Structure 1
Amino acid sequence: MHDTDAITLASQLCSRLCHDLLSPVGALSNGLELLADEEDPEMRQRCLELLEQSARTSANKLKFFRLAYGAAGGFGDRVDVTEPKAVIEALAADAKRVEINWAIATDSLPKPAVKVMLNYAQMGLDALVRGGTLDVGAERRDGASEIVVRAAGPKVAFDVSVGKALEGLLPADGLSGRTAPAYMLSILADSCEGELQYQLSEEALVLGAVLPG
């Protein structure tokens, strides 16, 4: 990757982070303003509930960004699967109308596999605009991590440019906050001689990965 491409990727990932945090952080600000001016006990309680929900959503998103985009400091080379599972469950709770099914056959995963699992889960949740089921599977086999995420529901939505980014077919200068995570995964997979793939139908979006190491 050229330096300019790396800068573009970092910039777009930052844009995605800011975009996703804008709503809950903005709600926190609004809630504090309302709380400062409100004297009715019932309304103050509603303000506190809004603040609690917004703070929880912000914290969940930051946990996601730490593991999905960042270096995940504080963890070793492998991450206990309870960590990404908790993050995905929190994101699905915020998305609403999404049921998660787990098929995890390992206690821990390398950091690159965790990044793939989390970003795939986010793509799956984004695709379930009208709710549905999110199946998340992972296992270690023959020295490699295998990840699969299946999002099924009515009107599954998936931007084809995200698919092109996963396949490494989208140029860096064409990145956006929406496609940057997929582009990052394609670089990650290339670095470890792994493989990413996806399949889209009217019923479901299936995302798969095999990452050696």
Structure 2
Amino acid sequence: MNNTSATELAALMCSRLCHDMLSPVGALSNGLELLADEKDPEMRARCIELLEQSARISTGKLKFFRLAFGAAGGFGDAVPVEEAKGVIEALVAEARRVELNWAIDGSSLPKPAVKVMLNLAQIALDALIRGGTLDIGAELHDGNYEIVVRASGDKIAFDETIGRALEGNLAPGELSSRTAAAHMIAILAEECRGGLQYKRDDGTLVMGAVIPQPDGMIG
């Protein structure tokens, strides 16, 4: 595993958050400026519609960051599946042209499994640059949570450095805000005594994870 300090990784994750939030928050600011100067009722209605859209996107991204990167306080050791699904569905709605399918057993997942699933889902969505299908599955099997995220489409755009980050094989200098999330969940999986893997071909990207069930948690 790449020897990265906690400070460096935190800085890179902050850079990723700021990058992803800049567009919707900037749209909110611009929309408010337009609304202040606009007198035409039809144009004002349009401005308000755009403000609502930007606010919805911002809220969805913040919920994602909270669960995918943060401590997700208030959920205890497990997160309701519906909470995680809602976050991913918001990302898919923003991406458009992506069909989402679920196959998740149980009503909750441990926090580490949720973090891994959300980050793999985001990586898969980023790969579907022309739309396609996103399949997400998770089940408890022999004391391990097995997670599979598959992106299928006409074109899969996937940076192999992200794949190396998932496998814990980043070369010196390859850790960046783009690979930080994959690197983080690789560290998380290793700390849980689990692991990540991926496989990619022309039309499909499949990523998987095995996360051991935490002691004392009932599946």
Sort the TM-score into its range (normalised by shorter chain). over 0.9
Q: Distance in 1 between matches of 2:129 and 2:52?
A: 25
Question: Is the contact made by 1:129 and 1:157 (CA closer than 8 Å) also made in structure 2?
Answer: yes
Q: Distance in 2 between matches of 1:71 and 1:193?
A: 20
The SS at the match of 1:210 is: strand
Tell me what 1:164 maps to. Answer: 164
Map 1:96-107 onto structure 2 (within 5 A).
96-107=96-107
Measured against aligned partners, the alpha-carbon deviations of 1:166-207 in whole angstroms (never above 9, x if no partner) come to 111115753111100000011001101101000000010000
Tell me what 1:190 maps to. Answer: 190
- How far did 1:142 drift? 1.4
- How far did 1:7 drift? 1.1
- How far did 1:2 drift? 9.7
Question: Is the contact made by 2:2 and 2:170 (CA closer than 8 Å) also made in structure 1?
Answer: no
Tell me what 2:119 maps to. Answer: 119
Which blocks of at least 5 consecutive residues in structure 1 are unaligned? none
* Matched pairs, number: 213
Q: Distance in 2 between matches of 1:53 and 1:137?
A: 29
Tell me what 2:202 maps to. Answer: 202
Q: Which amino acid aligns with 1:60?
A: G
- How far did 1:107 drift? 1.1
Instruction: Please tell me whether residue 91 in structure 1 is matched to residue 91 in structure 2.
Output: yes
Q: Among the aligned pairs, what percent are the same residue?
A: 69
Which blocks of at least 5 consecutive residues in structure 2 are unaligned? 214-219
Tell me what 2:44 maps to. Answer: 44
Q: Distance in 1 between matches of 2:147 and 2:171?
A: 25
The SS at the match of 2:5 is: helix
Q: Distance in 1 between matches of 2:58 and 2:177?
A: 18
Q: Which amino acid aligns with 1:33?
A: E
Q: Distance in 1 between matches of 2:107 and 2:87?
A: 16
Q: Distance in 2 between matches of 1:4 and 1:108?
A: 31
Question: Is the contact made by 2:128 and 2:152 (CA closer than 8 Å) also made in structure 1?
Answer: yes
Question: Is the contact made by 2:124 and 2:205 (CA closer than 8 Å) also made in structure 1?
Answer: yes
Question: Is the contact made by 1:8 and 1:175 (CA closer than 8 Å) also made in structure 2?
Answer: no
- How far did 1:8 drift? 1.1
| TM-score normalised by the chain length of structure 2 | 0.94
Tell me what 1:31 maps to. Answer: 31
Question: Is the contact made by 1:167 and 1:197 (CA closer than 8 Å) also made in structure 2?
Answer: yes
Tell me what 2:216 maps to. Answer: none
- How far did 1:143 drift? 1.4
Q: Distance in 1 between matches of 2:188 and 2:57?
A: 28
Q: Which amino acid aligns with 1:103?
A: A
Question: Is the contact made by 1:151 and 1:205 (CA closer than 8 Å) also made in structure 2?
Answer: yes
Q: Distance in 2 between matches of 1:85 and 1:48?
A: 28
The SS at the match of 1:174 is: coil
Question: Is the contact made by 1:5 and 1:172 (CA closer than 8 Å) also made in structure 2?
Answer: no
Q: Distance in 1 between matches of 2:101 and 2:202?
A: 20
Q: Which amino acid aligns with 1:88?
A: I
Q: Distance in 2 between matches of 1:80 and 1:192?
A: 20
Tell me what 1:143 maps to. Answer: 143
